[in-house]
Structure 1
Amino acid sequence: MRILGIDPGLQTTGFGVIDMDGSKLTYVASGVIRTDKVQQGNLPNRLKVIYDGIVEINQRYQPNAASVEIVFVNVNPQATLLLGQARGCCVTALVTCNLPVAEYTALQMKKAITGHGRAAKSQIQEMVKRMLKLPSVPGPDAADALGLAITHAHASPSMNKLAALDVLNRKTHGMYRDGRSH
């Protein structure tokens, strides 16, 4: 299985691609999508750069699944809203590419990679380097994206077993149907 991890950001969106064969993880690619060449106040064009970048990554590496970081609420509400829009753009691009999308918090990813939820970026970079046997540490955004892919690789077998037991299926009572609640 090939997994694409995405660390959303409005200026820099990290991506990481790994292959999972049983419990063996292999590095495929990683990098960032940058929007700094687009005018700062032009949010729609910056989101388009992110969207187009993810579509291109999907075409190039053809992953089977994707994992995205869940946005945390920041002290600055404007920054949180902008990050949320970048994240929504990432999820939309992945879904448009027909990829199943798993979502993990930064805390979940840090625990999966380093063993504790308050790990520094440098610790994540070093552990990703070790886990994937890389020659050097990846950049911080690419390391987070690879960490999300690794987290999904570790979690997906358990999630698939739970899904087979029908434990994870969403309940339909109290949900909207055709614009009306039932």
Structure 2
Amino acid sequence: MRVLGIDPGTGRCGFGVVEKNGTTITPVNYGVIETYKDQSDLERLNIVYEGIAELIATYRPAFMGVETLYFNTNITTGIKVAQARGVILLAGYRQNVPIIPVTPLQVKQQLTGYGRADKKQVIEMVKRMMHITKKIDPDDAADALAIALTAIYRLEHKNWTPGG
């Protein structure tokens, strides 16, 4: 089973494609879809949409794990991330890929057993679980792999409802 994990963003949208065979989960590809500040908001959203659509077409995931929004003190940033998440959900919907929403708390609890784990602890667990020896760069890609792993857990334990 192949799962695409997404860490939404407009400047950097992290993605992680993982394959589960039996009890083994391996990374297939990971990285970021990057946009630039000198581009308009619509250009940036289009780049994210097309990038996600291309990943779906290339890797044909059975499901997508997409991080839900969390409270952000910077409203402008929160709105932009929400817009990016919207086009990500639309890309999955248009290609009939079910969405598994994943919260940051679920990722931390699933991977480390502790809901207040820091980013470094989560990244270290991703590397251990998938036998990755080099640094995962940037962190957005590591976050996306963590989201994919958590989505697999939620799927296997039926701890989700279809939708985004």
| TM-score, with length taken from structure 1 | 0.83
Match of 1:142 in 2: 141
Match of 1:33 in 2: 33
Match of 1:180 in 2: none
May I ask how many residue pairs the two structures share in their alignment? 161
Name the larger-Rg structure: 1
CA-based RMSD of the aligned residues comes to 1.7
Answering whether residue 161 of structure 2 is matched by residue 158 of structure 1, we say: no
Q: Aligned to 2:157, what secondary structure does the other structure show?
A: helix
Contact 1:125 1:137 in 2 (8 A): no
Match of 2:89 in 1: 91
Distance across 1 between alignment mates of 2:41 and 2:130: 35
CA deviation map 1:108-167 (0-9, x unaligned): 1111111112222221111111100012131210111000110111121221xx78xxxx
Match of 1:126 among 124, 127, 130: 124
Contact 1:128 1:137 in 2 (8 A): no
Q: Percent identity?
A: 40
Shift of residue 23 of structure 1?
2.4
Shift of residue 15 of structure 1?
0.3
Q: Aligned to 1:122, what secondary structure does the other structure show?
A: helix
Consecutive unaligned residues in structure 2, runs of 5 or more: none
Higher relative contact order (Cα pairs below 8 Å, separated by 6+ residues): 2
CA deviation map 1:48-74 (0-9, x unaligned): 000000011112211111010001121
Shift of residue 80 of structure 1?
1.1
Distance across 2 between alignment mates of 1:39 and 1:95: 29
Residue type at the aligned position of 1:88: G
| TM-score, with length taken from structure 2 | 0.92
Distance across 1 between alignment mates of 2:6 and 2:27: 15
Match of 1:49 in 2: 47
Residue type at the aligned position of 2:147: L
Match of 1:103 among 90, 101, 104: 101
Runs of 4 or more, structure 1, over 2 Å off, are none
Consecutive unaligned residues in structure 1, runs of 5 or more: 170-182
